[in-house]
Structure 1
Amino acid sequence: MKYLITACLILFTAAAARANPEVPAPAQAGPIALIGGTIHPVEGAVIEGGTILIEDGKITALGKDVKLPPKTEKVDCKGQHIYPALFDAYTDLGLVEINSVRATADFREVGNMNPNVRALAAVNPDSEVIPVTRSNGVLLALTAPRGILVAGRAAVIQLDGWTPEQMSLKDGAGLMIHWPQPASNPPPADPLDDPVASVPRDDGVQTMRKAFQDARQYGAARKADPDYPVDARWESLQDVLAGTVPVMIHAESLEQIQGAVAFGDEFKLKVVIVGGYDAPRCADLLKPRNIPVIVTSIYRLPRRRSDDYDAPYTLCERLRAAGIKFCISSFGRFGATGTRNLPYHAATAAAYGLSSDEALKAITLYPAQICGVADRVGSLKVGKDATLFIASGDPLETPTQITAGYIQGRKLAWNDRHKRLFEKYQEKYKQLEREEKK
């Protein structure tokens, strides 16, 4: 009997982790022109009936009167809208397949101090979640490790490719740290708001402080003596201490954010706050230091009973009014499988005070700026990557259908598990209808 159970578990895990059948797109073979669509550059005015010329994966011309080179493939986009790729700035996409199946989750390493861990190394290019996500216009994501205290390095990925390396847009985009919650604070309504509740605050902070001090001393020793033994953990912190790689600190409460900012000041770090529920209350700390906030999930509960019911929904507008740079992520209870709902998080923020233009920027341009890849993605501009999608309307509205997508000029396979299931059961009803007519 035990062998039967083991066999069933193996079969179930294999089925859950099977590869998706969508074939990654080949490199762009020749010039492509998207003609006649309404272009939404994000940086700049909307262009009605415009043309985008794509060559070698880059946007080389954009406007109403674009001269096309010979043998250009022309794509009719009349009646359609063209947007830059949506960008989710905090996910575990590619690291988790099914949240409830531990064998399909690879987002956390053992131990509290893992600065040398790279999320990109664990990304599964064959995840079924990836085609589903990009079908809603989300073609870029920051995939980040989760763990206790120092979790590892996040990576910006493009949602197409045979290998993690082909998907990579920027490896080591930030070092993920989860800041401990003060014991005096009441537990949050959503446990995901506090991933390190099991670690006493003082112990956790002291552990991180000692690690960074050791890494600084290690760097000085290596500089003085190149033959000094290499330590992978401390070596990986050198560019962080130099300020060239940001530290993305998950901090929600006022006390957490204050502690994170003080820690950044102590070690002269480039800090990004992830979560940021109480960030508007810390505007006097964040704004002078130009510390941005990655807002994790608009769809969550207020942290305190005394908070307004719509506090999570108005958070983005309150950050904007305070002059704090921010962007929106979909991260929440559903993890990677909820990434496809990113545009609706932005839409809810727009419904609660944020302008629609700012809401769109919060899931395109602003995450690109915060993650350090705005020179390549985030808007439609000559010289940037041709990473974009074509839609029937505004992507923040649920009736809108995304009809095609391109990553660096490569046209994506526009199919996924959801579409296949839809087609399967459409056929079921067609067969039933035919049988009833007999």
Structure 2
Amino acid sequence: MNTRTMTRITTLCATMMGLQTITAVHAQSREITPPDQRTPMAIVNTTLHNPPVNHDGSDEVVIENAWILFEEGRITGVGSGPLEDLDGYEVFDAAGLHVYPGLIAGPTQLGLLETEQVRATDDRNELDNEHPEIQAWVSINPDSDLITVTRSAGIMTALVFPGGGTISGQPSAIRLDGWTNEDLTIEESLGVIVKWPLIHSVSSRFSRRSSADQNARSRERLKKIDNYFEDAEAWIAARKTDPTIPYNGRFAALSDVISGDAPLFIDASRASQIESAVAWSKRRGYDIVIVGGTASAECAPLLARHEVPVMIKGMHRLPMTRHSDHDAIFRTPERLRKAGVLFSIGNGSGEPQHERNLAHQAGTAGAYGLPAGAALRSITLSPAEIAGIDDQLGSVEEGKAATFIITTGNPMEITSDVLVSFMDGRRIDLSNRQSSLLNKYREKYRQLGLID
């Protein structure tokens, strides 16, 4: 191949990459972030739905003919019946409509990925194996089109988890509206993520390793995790007595976990992984949250005894093993609730573009025995409690952020629509690229006389 041909190929590749980048740029959302709330507001004549107070509760807390007052982004009053003095308030009459807390998605990688085919828009994974110092909020794209699509489904908050490696970094809690990633951030760090290795060998046509080899690798990985935390504890203890010891940012990032001020989010789906992770955490004295939890119902008594929460990665998936019941994952939330385990339900697809389906994941659990109130709690108050932000979000209560949605009905029903949303007292634009395309082609067929 001569030099001229090589130059043409290089130019062509560069042009294609440039076009991809241009496409990614033009995919950014055009919706405008509203200013902070300036006028006190009152939502009146509505039906308010709050999740159960206790995580093993079953019934929604429903207030008919409800009113909600909020000012400067905070709820200042909730009640029912007529309001006599609303001078100075902007009044929103929600007669015939329903108010729910803003939904909370997690674990998710929303904002870290825009287009999978364009590497420049994919910030999900770091390359190193241990990077506990990485925080998800730093890499979130506030102009992501996927954020606007997601919030149109009533999701106002996301728990964003970075990936890659065994110790993947720190998840962040974000609101789904803001000019910058600093504006989006509610909590920079919720803890540290650890991906737990398989404990037992897996036999499948995709595996090329023997059972003995798999088991040896699992023991090696477990030992490596244990040694890493052992070294971190030793460094923290040594630096307390001798501040001249060189700073280690990675070990320092584990200090809150080691002190008990933050949890470890342990990614584990199989029962043997969950049991191993719980035993290890109790030996080391760490608080943990199980993320994934496909087989968590099999370990429900253990999880309840040690008060270990579970973040379930979605309902719409196949059974984990051939001998499992076809509806095993659908019934997992109710089995956890009956056992007294705090749990939340996420989307679990691993693809942020499908995060908008979160409420339907909880709806599926509701169709398989989970009471309506518990299903609502699994996508509102429970994830807020697990993330440690329940003093701000998860329910519509006095003193909390004025973050809620106004709907035509239960958001877990496909027939319900989210009409209006408020985030920290600001009315949020629910339009997005998909709704723009819908309006465009409706107009096309209206002009053709095919629809009214």
Same fold (TM over 0.5): yes
Question: How many angstroms does 1:203 deviate by?
Answer: 2.1
By how many angstroms is 1:414 displaced? Answer: 2.0
Deviations 1:393-416 (A, max 9, x none): 110111111111111101111210
CA distance change for structure 1 residues 186 and 100 in 2, over 3 Å: closer, same or farther? farther
Q: Over aligned residue pairs, what C-alpha RMSD do you find?
A: 2.0
Name which of 401, 413, 416 aligns with 1:397. 413
Partner of 1:12: 20
Paired residues of 1:98 and 1:104 also in contact (CA < 8 A): yes
Q: Report the Cα distance in structure 2 between the residues aligned to 1:77 and 1:275, rounded to whole angstroms.
A: 38
For 1:296, give the aligned amino acid: K
- How many Å apart are 1:285 and its aligned residue? 2.1
Over the matched positions of the two proteins, sequence identity in percent amounts to 37
- The aligned amino acid for 1:351 is A
Please give the alpha-carbon distance, in whole angstroms, between the structure 1 residues aligned to 2:243 and 2:84: 55
Q: Distance in 1 between matches of 2:445 and 2:345?
A: 39
Query: How far apart in 1 are the matches of 2:173 and 2:323?
Result: 37
Amino acid at match of 1:41: N
In the alignment, the residues of structure 2 paired with residue 73 and residue 270 of structure 1 have an alpha-carbon distance, to the nearest angstrom, of 45
Q: Give the structure 2 partner of residue 192 of structure 1.
A: none
- 3-state SS in 2 of match to 1:88: strand
Contact 1:86–1:364 (CA<8 Å) still a contact in 2? Answer: yes
What does 1:330-345 align with in structure 2 at a 5 Å threshold?
330-333=347-350, 335-345=351-361
The answer to whether the 8 Å contact 2:421/2:427 transfers is yes
Which letter maps to 1:24? T
Q: 1: CA distance between counterparts of 2:429 and 2:301?
A: 47
Name the SS of the counterpart of 2:130 in structure 1: coil
Residues 347 and 354 in structure 2, CA contact (< 8 A), matched pair in contact too? yes
Query: CA deviation digits over 1:184-205, x for unaligned, max 9?
Result: 134699xxxxxxx999322221
The residue aligned with 2:365 is: 349
CA distance in 2 between counterparts of 1:99 and 1:417 reads 18
Q: Which residue of 295, 298, 305 maps to 2:322?
A: 305
Aligned to 2:387: 371
Q: The residue matched to 2:189 in structure 1 has which SS?
A: strand
Question: Equivalent residues in 2 for 1:36-435 (5 A)?
Answer: 36-43=45-52, 45-64=61-80, 65-66=82-83, 68-186=85-203, 200-333=217-350, 335-433=351-449
CA distance in 1, matches of 2:356, 2:273: 29
Q: CA, structure 1 residues 83+187, in 2 after alignment: closer, same or farther (shift >3 Å)?
A: farther
Query: Which shifted more, 279-288 or 91-100?
Result: 279-288
Q: CA deviation at 1:59?
A: 0.6
Secondary structure class of the residue paired with 1:381: coil
Residue in structure 2 matching 1:29, options 33, 38, 47? 38
Deviation at 1:418, TM superposition (A): 0.7
Shift of 1:67: 5.4
Which secondary structure does the structure 1 equivalent of 2:123 belong to?
coil
Kindly provide the amino acid, as one letter, of the partner of residue 251 in structure 1. A
- In structure 2, what is the Cα distance between the partners aligned to 1:362 and 1:38? 20
Q: How many angstroms does 1:359 deviate by?
A: 0.4
Alpha-carbon deviation of 1:247? 0.4
Note the C-alpha offset of 1:278.
1.6
How far, CA to CA, are the matches of 2:117 and 2:193 in structure 1?
23
Structure 1 residue matching 2:170: 3-state secondary structure: strand
Q: How many residues align?
A: 427
**One-letter identity of the residue aligned with 1:416:** N
User: How far off is 1:183 after superposition?
Assistant: 5.0
Distance in 2, matches of 1:150 and 1:188, equals 28
Structure 1 stretch 130-139 or stretch 316-325: which is displaced more?
316-325
Segments of structure 1 that go 5 or more residues without pairing to the other structure are 190-196
CA deviation profile, 1:352-382 (whole Å, cap 9, x unmatched): 1111111011111111111101111100111
Give the Cα–Cα distance (whole angstroms) in 1 for the partners of residues 111 and 205 of structure 2. Answer: 27
Q: Which runs of 5+ in 2 are unaligned?
A: 1-7, 53-59, 207-213
CA contact (8 A) 1:31 1:69 kept: no
CA distance in 1 between partners of 2:231 and 2:279 (Å): 18
Quote the offset at 1:108 in angstroms. 0.9
CA distance 1:198–1:381, change in 2 (3 Å): farther
User: Quick one: distance in 1 between partners of 2:358 and 2:286?
Assistant: 29
- Give the deviation of 1:69 after TM superposition: 5.0
Q: Scaled by the length of structure 2, what TM-score is found?
A: 0.91
* Mapped contact 1:89–1:371 kept (Cα < 8 A): no
Give, in whole Å, the separation in 2 of the partners of 1:161 and 1:12: 26
**1:188·1:303 contact (CA, 8 Å) conserved in 2?**
no
* Distance in 2, Cα, partners of 1:32 & 1:187: 59
Q: Does the Cα contact within 8 Å between 1:56 and 1:409 map onto a contact in 2? A: yes
- How far the C-alpha of 1:133 sits from its partner, in A, is 0.3
- Answer yes or no: is the 8 Å Cα contact 1:156–1:170 preserved in 2: yes
| Superposition TM-score, scaled by structure 1 size | 0.93
Change (3 A) 1:283 1:83: same
Mapped partners of 2:383, 2:250: distance in 1 = 27
Does structure 1 conserve the Cα–Cα contact (< 8 Å) formed by 2:197 and 2:273? Answer: yes
- Separation in 2 of the partners of 1:98 and 1:121? 18
